[in-house]
Structure 1
């Protein structure tokens, strides 16, 4: 879009972890994540004096701000938009290093990633809103973007707020489709961020970071079940980190097992083998159960266990998704199998099937025209 006086719209999809949870927060440990066709949408339009940040979901928390030189000055002391603010600050810092003049604008956010009554599904809304905000602002300031740059800017902004996690949800929101993701060295990033300009930081390779698109076999069907109870990823990851320091050997064995399992799973995608993928999903469920036992973190709640057991009884592979503790579980089943009785058993046990589909691989060039 030429000129930045028009309304600019950018969106980013939510995600679900398929496998590799918890291990992925360590540098160099693989995971598989899928982008879903539910979005956070960000709209930006130029404003004359005061800018605003308004969310359709949280109207009472709208934030108002003004310019003092190039600085963005918030007028609300309390706001729930930490990820949006972080994404704005970081993208504007980047825009200024590229010589862009700062402007005032209205930014509107709308999310599909929570249920209508505001409960979180666990689809990575904070990552999606970060990516959509960075994407929209880069278009507003006419900054050319690659997926690599979009990921790096969004990852820095997200990490500044969350402080932990693997940033795999950010990668899924940037790349779309199915991805194999391996986290970069966050200690390196924090040190480099203090010493280098943002331009230098986003233009170089990041140690250990790998993001690879995967193609699922033709006969693979992904089904998503929701337990109805939200979970806090940051809180659960912190609890595992505490037990990691106490039981070093057991934790290291968990990392070794997870990496081996994920490498087999990724091979299953490369070879188009549904049976290899299903075996990997089941194996990863067992590995996470052992982690839960020694860390005393409830990854697979009774409802998630019921969800998985029902799926396994219907010749599918199933496990919790993400940090667990509630939220969603995933099922991988042959497309040719009838799933009516599986879904019926879920409903009888208070488990909701979410009607989500995989969002295809994202083409930035097409999206930003």
Structure 2
């Protein structure tokens, strides 16, 4: 049986601006994973996921096409990842097979509630990794990112794909998104091999090394949020106040570039300052778009952390889910955690996923 896994992620800074091509963000991969296992079968194949409670999806072959038996299913990202990978395999002349695919996720709470750790991205990446092993397909991190980005976009239709980058590369990364309109045009005019074998406009993914004394603490508000819906809302609002939106983009870019200098030079105070500044920038975006990014619970979470000498902000699209705290490891954080718990904010026992495979 073939096994592949991909880590979840959290945005550290640069949210919303990162959906614009070339605008920087900082993302971290976490040590919680989606694991995909594949074994060959005959006749019918099945897709089984512990994430979903509505049973397995059964499928069969009609020539080289995958035919899903039950039309209404919640496995959209898995199916899209299979479709893209099999398109890649067929373009390299590989014969199609039937197989069983098993998915197990650590990225949700024990009762199935989402933490906002990028489970859809991680399952997309893990599925493609496993299938590339199954079909013995050549795969670099760059190709894996591109295949997973296409598969994810085919389902979600928006977003920066930074969560895909974190699941592929691991650790701390700087991420700048590619031109999605260019990709849509290429999908209509070029073959998949041609698309994944060439540079993508504006795309940049760089591994970062945090200062040794930097400690990341993650708090969960207990309230899930939909990234795609929140991004849609901001997209609708930004056109009505273009001047304010361009000001937001400029401020976010300047802030993240200062944060990156802090990472590159190992200056934790500069990183903390950048996190606090990015929080203010996102709150200004929230004000003029009327999209709630920092919920009352996230605000309490951040304010408590700041009162204990840390830097904090919402993570990702906001609207619930998680917030992040950057604090000097030499500072005692026990009182911070205790105050969180008194406000029903759950500290998540997560660590950064360490990068072992350096293959690009």
With the shorter chain as reference, the TM-score category is over 0.9
Partner SS for 1:253: helix
1:100 and 1:364, CA in 2 relative to 1: closer, same or farther beyond 3 A?
farther
Unaligned stretches of 5+ residues in structure 2 = none
2:247 is matched with which residue? 253
Q: Report 1:177-216 matches (<5 A).
A: 177-216=171-210
Say if 1:61 and 1:79, in contact at 8 Å, map to a contact too: no
2:332 is matched with which residue? 338
1:345 and 1:34, CA in 2 relative to 1: closer, same or farther beyond 3 A?
same
Q: CA offsets, 1:212-269, max 9 Å, x none?
A: 0000001000000000000000000011011101100000100000000000001100
Say if 1:175 and 1:362, in contact at 8 Å, map to a contact too: no
Distance 2:55 2:178 in 1: 34
Distance 1:298 1:217 in 2: 32
Partner SS for 2:231: helix
1:316 is matched with which residue? 310
Partner SS for 1:99: coil
2:26 is matched with which residue? 32
Q: Report 1:110-259 matches (<5 A).
A: 110-259=104-253
2:76 is matched with which residue? 82
Shift of 1:362: 4.5
1:280 is matched with which residue? 274
Distance 1:360 1:344 in 2: 28
2:340 aligned with 1:350, yes or no?
no
Q: CA offsets, 1:153-178, max 9 Å, x none?
A: 00000000000000000000000000
Distance 1:187 1:361 in 2: 31
Unaligned stretches of 5+ residues in structure 1 = 1-6
TM-score (normalizing by structure 2): 0.99
Shift of 1:298: 0.7
Distance 1:214 1:364 in 2: 13
Aligned pairs, how many?
360
1:271 is matched with which residue? 265
Say if 1:174 and 1:362, in contact at 8 Å, map to a contact too: no
Deviating above 2 A after TM superposition, structure 1's stretches of 4 or more consecutive aligned residues are none
Partner SS for 1:35: strand
Q: CA RMSD in A?
A: 1.0
Shift of 1:340: 1.0
